[in-house]
Structure 1
């Protein structure tokens, strides 16, 4: 390459340091930077993985009649597909949960949150390809 042996050694060391620096930079950006995993999903992301139940009418323990409809947010698209296939099981779970409640149990936000959480837990018991992240009560009429 060059006539001077010292210049050759310096160029080789400079290229080695440059390669080590570039490799360090690539590894740092790929593995050590924080991801935005804890960021809230956008509404478009939520709608992509959400499914709606049909309106369900059933009796409560207190002889009242209730009409409900839920929107269920799942963790991925395959879970949404599985959820739609398990429609009959989901309806059964919702009817079972509602039939154990009285009209007064569904009064107020605490009662509604309790129902949503119980439905979420019960649906997760039957899901295999994913899980339910959140259940939203879309419609509730007690007569």
Structure 2
């Protein structure tokens, strides 16, 4: 192949060292990665640091009842938290509009509250530019 035996031997040594390096990298990467595949759950301190409390809102429902509610919105990063704090008026608007479309009977039970939380999460995420809402927690929920 090559005219000089020294060049052939050097070429074989370089290929051998490269293959050993690649195999070592693959083996180390394979055995040191997290086998669960899921990201670790945040600690309670991390959750609290990335949440925003809405003000307590009182609004009319479609059924002429009224609701007094407060939510805690968890976001995924600090920039999203800063953004959600600036968008507080839009947050309140979304909450009031969603509640105004519901009757008191549609807000009874934990499933109904969970549906409302998911709806709020989706609607708020439509506004977000820096990050996203991870979860909406209901803090206060009174219907009269």
Tell me what 1:46 maps to. Answer: 47
Shift of 1:48: 1.1
2:69 aligned residue: 68
The match for 1:114 is 115
Identify the residue that residue 142 of structure 1 maps to in structure 2: 143
Partner of 2:101: 100
In structure 2, C-alpha distance between the alignment counterparts of 1:29 and 1:79, rounded to whole Å: 33
Could you report, residue by residue, the CA deviation over 1:15-58 in whole angstroms, capped at 9, with x for unpaired residues? x97xx67x936983599612775222111111111111000110
Instruction: Give the Cα–Cα distance (whole angstroms) in 1 for the partners of residues 38 and 50 of structure 2.
Output: 17
Three-state SS of the structure 1 residue aligned to 2:130 is coil
In the alignment, what sits opposite 2:33? 33
Identify the residue that residue 56 of structure 2 maps to in structure 1: 55
Tell me the SS of whatever aligns to 2:39.
Answer: coil
What TM-score, normalized to structure 2?
0.78
SS of alignment partner, residue 90 of structure 1 = helix
| Partner Cα distance (2:81, 2:31) in 1 | 30
Structure 2, unaligned runs of 5 or more: 1-12
Summarize the Cα distance change of 1:99–1:40 in structure 2 as closer, same or farther, 3 Å threshold.
Answer: same
Question: Structure 1 length normalisation: TM-score?
Answer: 0.78
- Aligned-residue Cα RMSD (Å) equals 2.6
Aligned length: 128
Extract unaligned runs of 5+ from structure 1.
1-12
Q: What secondary structure does 2:62 align onto?
A: coil
Q: Determine whether 1:88 maps to 2:89.
A: yes
